[in-house]
Structure 1
Amino acid sequence: MTTEVPTADWIDPVTMNADPYPSYRRLRQESPVAWVPALGQFLATGYRACRAIEDDQRSFSAGCTSGTSAKMARALGGQPMVNKDDPDHTHERRVINPGLRPKQLRDRWTPVFEANARTYLETLREHGPDDADLNRDYAAPVAARNLIDLLGFRDVEVDVMREWSNAFVSGVGNLFDDPETWKRNDRACAEVGAVLDELVPYYRSHPDDSMISALANAELTDEQILANVNLTITGGMNEPQHAVTSTVWALDRHREQRDQTLDDPALWPAVFDETVRWLSPIGMYPRQATEDVVLNGVTVPEGALIGVVVAAANRDNGEFERGEEFDIHRPKRPHLAFGSGVHMCAGHWAARIAIGEIAVPLLYGELPGFRPDTRRDESWFGWFFRGLTELPVTWD
């Protein structure tokens, strides 16, 4: 197989964790669909290839049972909806859709999102302006608290939610089966399961507008509920958390655009959208070929695993003019940071509102001269999931 298709035998997962974008650029230029021996799968990095995969559930299944998808099922305690094809995907997805629509989010959850942001703004103030870290003191706890409230976790602390999310992110990305990673992951899965054992019966007799209540009162098995709650803990914290830090980082490196946004707050939605395109927090998701299929001129054999690398596709110059550049004024075009088609992230409006309209603008509105603190080191990690793990900040 590897002698008949483009092969990227130069890919190094360790290098990708440090900074995947040079590798993405080379893949798009040389072979937007390529077999990667180090990962045991194909990677699709071109925009059109990634869209073609998402638009064709018959040829490219989300319900694969090996490779990255198997890691996800192993990590989350079952196969979540994101790794299922229709009609099974739609059956589970329709359960949570009503609570995540824009009007419901704005009417019910905007006050909650703002209260949570203001709570942790005070935590940030307590550490600053000389020892504040945006991820530790604000982005992560805001994302965790919002998620606790949306899901309906009663009496779960922010630090516990952070631990669960980190454990699931590590488990889903545990490509080389590190035993310590699985140990942390399994402990988190057991802890969430124990909480759900109490909450599911409670919400069946006391329904409300939380996500766990919606899942508990649908025709789903306990395993389906657990897998989908764990999925939400994974992406529902990871993406908003990294969207906060990435936005601040990007604006600091494009200060003219930052100043334009501070002068015109109507630009904040564009800032959020461009940030998640340019620095996609969720970099890749899995698919499996159900038959021999030609993708971008490359024959992908039946059963082959494919990584849909949306973080690379979102910078494809063939789809986005000057795609490698950050530009909040670029013509609006659909990107893949939240997926696409039937599998588009159910929580994308929650992230847009909670982070793009509330959490990030609040920082600049309340902290004069707010900016990254160049006196201290920042830290990035990951490519399957990618974001700043440390971003020191300061203000005047």
Structure 2
Amino acid sequence: MTDTAATRPMSCPVTHAPASAGESALPQRGTVDPAEFPGAPEVDWVAPGELATDPYPTYRRLRHEAPVAWVPAVNKYLVTSYHECHEIECDQQTYTADVGGSGATMLRALGGHPMLRKDDPDHASERSTINPTLRPKMVKSVWSEVFTRNARTYLDVLADAGPGAAELNRDYAAPVASQNLIDLLGLPDVDVEDMRRWSHAFIAGTGNLLDDPDIWVRCEQARTEVDALLDALIPFYDKHPNESMTSALVGSGLPRQAVAANVKLTITGGMNEPQHMITNMVWALSRHPDQQRRVSVDRSLWPAVFDETARWLSPIGMYPRQTTRPVVLGGVRLPAGAAIGVVVGSANRDERYFDADPAVFDISRPRRPHLAFGSGVHLCAGHWAAKSAVGEIAVPLLYERFPTLRVDTTRETRWDGWVFRGLTDLPVTWNN
């Protein structure tokens, strides 16, 4: 997930959700001594295996019992409520993205310090280099045609697989997201399978909280291959710039290590999240045929489908922050240097923030900002590109080509992950 403030959907400071009956507003920072507040409760019942299978029951219990809690199973303070997650994003001085120590899996996975793990002004300096490539005007004038071409190519692949054997992730979502990313980054002669393998390796490394050595082996192999590719591309783009993100990073004058780290950061989030958004949208609509029928007769509803799916099934479930000083968050004391997991997958279903039942998928839901793409200065830079590539092109064209598309319930559907969550297998069928 790369980031920018250019398309920030919500402002800081935090807009507080209405307090529940009998609940008083929390003291503002700077008006209290953190030592006067209790430490965060320790929660020993969270099971990483259950999170990977279905995190939402655990999230709901945490929101109700301990929305800011120390969880030994993941060696972090997990923050699961909307208000506190948003507060963290709006305060770089207290909650830094520059996480350190043994929990900094992203830094190890990518072999460098990308912009996502920096605060301003360093973060803003690197972010500004790619903003022009990903702004709505550039997406519309340059990238929409590319996204459409790639979608149509893999619609043919899906059709060739046939309604009895098609698997949406393998035959469409992954290669479309992969080719879109290859083109956005400007990586010539890269195969979609190599891009997918690199992305999965970096994703696994970034989420490797349990320090699995096999994951690190795959991650290091992917890093070596991408670095070798960049050794040739960086001098090329120095002399032959174009609209790609890699060209923009090279042309900014950033040192090679920063260029490489940010390219690998984009590979990490730039394929996996759009891929999961395609399959998530189809899965959600297949489970809600009444809403699918509405969209089929009113194409103007596609942006609402994209936005509600991103909230309901957030592809990024959690990302890290670290406290720079003692602070009170959600009425409990956190020490300086505390490793925090900002669980936006839970915050986006917070009953105290959203007006209607947030556990329900509803494209008619009253619009409120969510955190699926981050917020504040770390709002995902690929937000507009994803909306175009997935919400306006890949999924609408999919249903245009296959109007009766639906999940094939005779074959197994598989989900995985909570730090990054998505469908690994989504069998689909349609009427010939």
The question of 1:207 aligning with 2:228 is answered: no
Distance 2:67 2:289 in 1: 33
C-alpha contact (below 8 Å) 1:67/1:305 kept by paired residues:
no
Map of 1:107 onto structure 2: 141
The question of 1:164 aligning with 2:198 is answered: yes
Identify the range of structure 1 (152-161 vs 365-374) with the bigger mean alpha-carbon deviation: 365-374
Tell me which amino acid in the other structure corresponds to 1:383: W
Where does 1:286-325 land on structure 2 (aligned, <5 Å)? 286-320=320-354, 321-325=356-360
Q: How many residues in Structure 1 have an aligned counterpart in Structure 2?
A: 394
Distance 2:324 2:197 in 1: 36
Answer 1 or 2: higher relative contact order, Cα 8 Å, separation at least 6: 2
Map of 1:84 onto structure 2: 118
Map of 2:313 onto structure 1: 279
- Give the 3-state SS of the residue equivalent to 1:132 in structure 2: coil
Map of 2:83 onto structure 1: 48
Map of 2:10 onto structure 1: none
Residues 246-303 of structure 1, C-alpha deviations (whole Å, 9 max, x = no match)? 0000011111111111110000000000001000001111000000000010101100
Residues 49-71 of structure 1, C-alpha deviations (whole Å, 9 max, x = no match)? 00000000011000111254x11
Tell me which amino acid in the other structure corresponds to 2:197: E
Residue 219 of structure 1 and its aligned partner are, at CA, apart by 2.2
Map of 2:49 onto structure 1: 14
Tell me which amino acid in the other structure corresponds to 1:236: G
- Give the 3-state SS of the residue equivalent to 2:404 in structure 1: coil
Q: Which runs of 5+ in 1 are unaligned?
A: none
Identity %: 59
Distance 1:8 1:141 in 2: 40
Residue 5 of structure 1 and its aligned partner are, at CA, apart by 2.1
Residue 6 of structure 1 and its aligned partner are, at CA, apart by 1.4
Distance 2:208 2:97 in 1: 19
Map of 1:117 onto structure 2: 151
C-alpha contact (below 8 Å) 2:39/2:334 kept by paired residues:
no
The question of 1:393 aligning with 2:408 is answered: no
Tell me which amino acid in the other structure corresponds to 1:54: E
| Deviation beyond 6 Å, 4+ runs, structure 1 | none
The question of 1:60 aligning with 2:95 is answered: yes
Q: 1:343 to 1:67 in 2, by over 3 A?
A: farther
Map of 1:367 onto structure 2: 402
TM-score normalised over the length of structure 1 = 0.98
Distance 1:102 1:94 in 2: 15
Aligned pair partner of 1:237 in 251, 271, 286? 271
Residue 176 of structure 1 and its aligned partner are, at CA, apart by 1.6
Tell me which amino acid in the other structure corresponds to 2:121: P
Where does 1:347-362 land on structure 2 (aligned, <5 Å)? 347-362=382-397
Map of 1:189 onto structure 2: 223
Q: CA RMSD, aligned part only?
A: 1.0
Distance 1:378 1:40 in 2: 31
Distance 1:243 1:368 in 2: 19
Tell me which amino acid in the other structure corresponds to 2:352: G
Residue 16 of structure 1 and its aligned partner are, at CA, apart by 0.6
Map of 2:181 onto structure 1: 147
Tell me which amino acid in the other structure corresponds to 1:313: A
The question of 1:377 aligning with 2:412 is answered: yes
